[in-house]
Amino acid sequence: MQDMVRVVVDAMGGDNAPGEIVKGAVEALNAREDIFIYLTGRKPVIEAELSKYTFPKERLEIVHTEEVIETAEPPVMAIRRKKDSSIVKGMNMVKQKEADAFVSAGSSGAILVGGQVIVGRIKGIERPPLAPLIPTKNGVSLLIDCGANVDARPSHLVQFAKIGSIYMENVMGVKNPRVGLVNIGAEEEKGNALVKETFPLLKECKELNFIGSVEARDIPQGVCDVIVCEAFVGNVILKLYEGVGATLISKVKQGMMTSLRSKIGALLVKPALKETLKSFDASQYGGAPLLGLNGLVVKTHGSSKAVEVKNSILQCVQFTKQEINQKIRENIIKEDQKG
Amino acid sequence: MQDMVRVVVDAMGGDNAPGEIVKGAVEALNAREDIFIYLTGRKPVIEAELSKYTFPKERLEIVHTEEVIETAEPPVMAIRRKKDSSIVKGMNMVKQKEADAFVSAGSSGAILVGGQVIVGRIKGIERPPLAPLIPTKNGVSLLIDCGANVDARPSHLVQFAKIGSIYMENVMGVKNPRVGLVNIGAEEEKGNALVKETFPLLKECKELNFIGSVEARDIPQGVCDVIVCEAFVGNVILKLYEGVGATLISKVKQGMMTSLRSKIGALLVKPALKETLKSFDASQYGGAPLLGLNGLVVKTHGSSKAVEVKNSILQCVQFTKQEINQKIRENIIKEDQKG
């Protein structure tokens, strides 16, 4: 198991658990030989799902847990009380270094709380941000923070920028990633109090490729690689991306059904259109990592299907092999100690 | 001029001034008989544009101004110094009750500052919000505030909700408009400090049809009629709407050009698609009114064409005839004095 990346997958979390979760885990195992997967959850259910597939059995282990944390439960209470749940057990395995990463499509609240309370922050990291990749015109950008820390302070945003740069450079292979600060105008004097205080701090960071303020309008164009914002704003961006996309696509489909002429046209454009829109679908890019922890926690969408689960697991491999946490410790913490 | 609505239009503001602005003004004059228009700006240029059209000359007057406020100028300074500019002159006419409303596609900053400093707030209104209509699946919603007051307080958001309800009910004809608070989750305990404090205050307002928190994902579905948020968040929503829409449409077009089959299909679907997408285009709905002033100021998009200018002017007519400001005074200010 020397070069194996060990990923715990929460088999009970999400709208499509356990079926799609188990399927995604199997697909990941079959895609790479350097993954070992632990599935946490109810053993009989997981075994029934696994029996449908062929896969290298020596690289999978079921860790039975009796409890399940529901999406509607108050997260702090759930993490504290349900010790024998698929989430708490999985996170404890990361904490104990029995695994490198934990993937779940379950309760966002429980995952955020558990990440901080159980897995714990890297020393010196003030607030671990949640950072999904979002599709842009010709690629992807990292949105950091998209929901972990509302009412953040300027120093938090500076850490987000540094963590995000390391991630994009090492996991996504973007050389010298462009960092933008979400703002309501391009000029330095624009913005709210948080942004105005953060701007000069980011400008001072010589190790960052800070390109200044970015307006929400330009985000889908791929104007920067690391999109820095406070969690409330980030969450609005992520969800509006989904919402506008879904509504527009349904409008386009509806428009194509208005006449016989357009219906025939629709049949002809359908395959090409499907391919194009796929590239603008966030699920292609795996889940949102909660960064800055002693290990890795990845939150995938509640409605995740096997492909997203698989991609999230593969993301954990890249993250672990690239020693991202080591780089965060070296570049961010040392930098801060100098200052 | 008893029942005439008098609208000052800034002929010098925006990327397409004066051509499209003057054209839009003429179109508005020809559309309704109860509009009188003042065009502020350089007389010779405006006259040259007007000479292209036929329109009722007795309902239009040019008010010559020598100066122009540029988009890049610091707004407070510009408003203070350029007394003979199309913006300052136009706003002074509203202040002096020589006109009912002012429409401009010029500098957002100067319009926001001028609205507050020159036209002035209705007594009791804490912060006048900027409130554009945004397209949704089956109609439009009012986004309030989308850029006037960053770092707002809970009491401001409550006023936005009340002002927005009056606007949607009386200008747009929506009975008992549904008011939603932008949040990052549907539960009452979710959100940042501002939202958590605002939620119970809105719940207490018996005169509002408050439906609770709304997530950004559901906004394009038209989940509520009045979308209440702080200006930074509102600005991100407005601009991301534009950005995601534009990028997706260009993706769809690009996708249709990938094969001969899809190109033929594209020709067939084009007319139907164009019609559908038009309904999702914000410019159809006029400009963004700055509400709660002693008069009306409407900011139209910097890239406005004649149709947007025309629609913004028609919006002023509806606003004035419905006596929105009178209703704001009666419903909001009296309510507050009771409390």
CA distance, residue B286 to nearest chain A CA (Å): 19
Written as tens digits, the pLDDT of chain A (339 aa) is 558 999 999 999 999 999 999 999 999 999 999 999 999 999 999 999 999 999 999 999 999 999 999 988 899 999 999 999 999 999 999 999 999 999 999 999 999 999 999 999 999 999 999 999 999 988 899 999 998 888 899 999 999 999 999 999 998 999 999 999 999 987 667 889 999 999 999 999 999 999 999 999 999 999 999 999 999 999 999 999 888 888 888 888 887 888 888 888 888 888 877 777 777 776 667 789 999 999 999 999 898 999 999 999 999 999 999 999 999 998 877 665 654
Q: How far, in Å, CA of A339 to CA of B239, rounded?
A: 37
Q: Where are the alpha helices (DSSP H) in chain A?
A: 19-31, 43-50, 75-81, 86-95, 108-114, 154-170, 193-204, 231-256, 260-278, 306-321, 324-328, 334-338
**Using 50, 70 and 90 to split pLDDT, how confident is the model at B336?**
low
Q: Are residues B172 and B65 in the same domain?
A: no
Which residues from chain B sit within 8 angstroms of residue A255, using beta carbons? Answer: 269, 272-273, 275-277
Q: Is residue A333 part of a domain?
A: no
Q: What is the pLDDT of residues B228-267, one digit of tens each?
A: 999 999 999 999 988 888 888 888 888 888 888 888 888 8
Which residues from chain B sit within 8 angstroms of residue A244, using beta carbons? Answer: 220, 240-241, 244-245, 248
Is there a contact between A268 and B268 if contact means CB atoms under 8 Å apart? Answer: yes
Which residues from chain B sit within 8 angstroms of residue A275, using beta carbons? Answer: 255, 258
| Interface predicted TM-score (ipTM) | 0.89
Q: Is residue B233 part of a domain?
A: yes
Q: How far, in Å, CA of B214 to CA of B160, rounded?
A: 16
CB B228, CB B191: distance < 8 Å: no
Is there a contact between B243 and A219 if contact means CB atoms under 8 Å apart? Answer: yes
Out of B248, B280, B312, pick the residue that ends a domain.
B280
- CB of B231 within 8 Å of a chain A CB? The answer is yes
Q: CB pairs below 8 Å between A and B: how many?
A: 202
Which residues from chain A sit within 8 angstroms of residue B273, using beta carbons? Answer: 252, 255-256, 262
Q: How far, in Å, CA of A10 to CA of A62, rounded?
A: 10
Smallest Cβ–Cβ distance between B262 and the set A216, A272, A279 belongs to A272
- CB of B199 within 8 Å of a chain A CB? The answer is no
Give yes or no for a cis peptide into B145 (omega within 30° of 0).
Answer: yes
CB A290, CB A299: distance < 8 Å: yes
Q: Is residue A47 part of a domain?
A: yes
Q: Are residues A309 and A259 in the same domain?
A: no
Out of B280, B309, B332, pick the residue that ends a domain.
B280
What's the pLDDT at A273? 76
Q: What is the pLDDT of residues B185-215, one digit of tens each?
A: 877 678 899 999 999 999 999 999 999 999 9
Q: Are residues B119 and B224 in the same domain?
A: no
Smallest Cβ–Cβ distance between A192 and the set B150, B244, B271 belongs to B150
Per the prediction, chain B carries an average pLDDT of 91
C-alpha B166 chain-centroid distance: 15
- CB of B251 within 8 Å of a chain A CB? The answer is yes
Q: How far, in Å, CA of A191 to CA of A214, rounded?
A: 11
Q: Are residues B274 and B143 in the same domain?
A: yes
Q: Which chain A residue has its CA at the smallest distance from B273's CA?
A: A255
Which residues from chain A sit within 8 angstroms of residue B249, using beta carbons? Answer: 248
What's the pLDDT at A339? 46
Q: Are residues A71 and A178 in the same domain?
A: no
Q: How far, in Å, CA of A188 to CA of A198, rounded?
A: 10
Place of tokens 């997203």: A308
Out of B228, B258, B280, pick the residue that ends a domain.
B280
CA distance, residue A253 to nearest chain B CA (Å): 9
CB B286, CB B314: distance < 8 Å: yes
Query: Any idea which of A221-225, B71-75, B270-274 has the lowest mean pLDDT?
Result: B270-274
Q: Which chain A residue has its CA at the smallest distance from B271's CA?
A: A262
CB A19, CB A49: distance < 8 Å: yes
Range(s) of the domain holding residue B185: 133-280
CB B131, CB B76: distance < 8 Å: no
Main-chain dihedrals φ then ψ at residue A124, nearest 5 degrees: 105, -20
DSSP code of residue B6: E
Q: Are residues B151 and B274 in the same domain?
A: yes
Instruction: Give the tokens for residue B284.
Output: 């159809």
CA distance, residue A151 to nearest chain B CA (Å): 6
**Using 50, 70 and 90 to split pLDDT, how confident is the model at B283?**
low
Q: Is residue A265 part of a domain?
A: yes
Is there a contact between B256 and A272 if contact means CB atoms under 8 Å apart? Answer: yes
Is there a contact between A272 and B261 if contact means CB atoms under 8 Å apart? Answer: yes
Domain count, chain A: 2
Instruction: Give the tokens for residue A212.
Output: 């200044």
Q: Is residue B336 part of a domain?
A: no
- CB of B262 within 8 Å of a chain A CB? The answer is yes
Q: Are residues B21 and B44 in the same domain?
A: yes
- CB of A205 within 8 Å of a chain B CB? The answer is no
Place of tokens 């020693």: A323
Q: Are residues A275 and A137 in the same domain?
A: yes
Residue B79 pLDDT exceeds 90: yes
Q: Are residues B118 and B151 in the same domain?
A: no
Of A23 and B333, the structure prediction assigns the larger pLDDT to A23
Residue B302 pLDDT exceeds 50: yes
* CATH number for position B314: 3.40.718.10
Q: What is the pLDDT of residues B161-170, one digit of tens each?
A: 999 999 999 9
Measure the CA dihedral A274/A276/A278/A282, to 10°. -150
Q: Are residues A210 and A231 in the same domain?
A: yes
Residue A138 CB contacts under 8 Å (≥ 6 apart), including other chains: A222
Residue B331 pLDDT exceeds 90: no
What's the pLDDT at A335? 62
- CB of A223 within 8 Å of a chain B CB? The answer is no
Q: Are residues B152 and B267 in the same domain?
A: yes
CA dihedral for B210, B211, B213, B214, sign (positive or negative): negative
- CB of A267 within 8 Å of a chain B CB? The answer is yes
Is there a contact between A268 and B264 if contact means CB atoms under 8 Å apart? Answer: yes
Main-chain dihedrals φ then ψ at residue A37, nearest 5 degrees: -115, 130
Q: Is residue B334 part of a domain?
A: no
Q: Is residue A235 part of a domain?
A: yes
Q: Are residues A234 and A97 in the same domain?
A: no
Q: Is residue A330 part of a domain?
A: no
Best probe of the B interface among A111, A149, A217, by most B CBs < 10 A, is: A217
Q: Which chain B residue has its CA at the smallest distance from A185's CA?
A: B235
**Using 50, 70 and 90 to split pLDDT, how confident is the model at B72?**
confident
CA distance, residue B109 to nearest chain A CA (Å): 10
- CB of A218 within 8 Å of a chain B CB? The answer is yes
- Helix H or strand E segment including B260: helix B260-278
Main-chain dihedrals φ then ψ at residue A189, nearest 5 degrees: -85, -5
Is there a contact between B240 and A233 if contact means CB atoms under 8 Å apart? Answer: no
Measured CA angle at A300 (ends A296, A301), to 5 deg: 160
Instruction: Give the tokens for residue A87.
Output: 């989430």
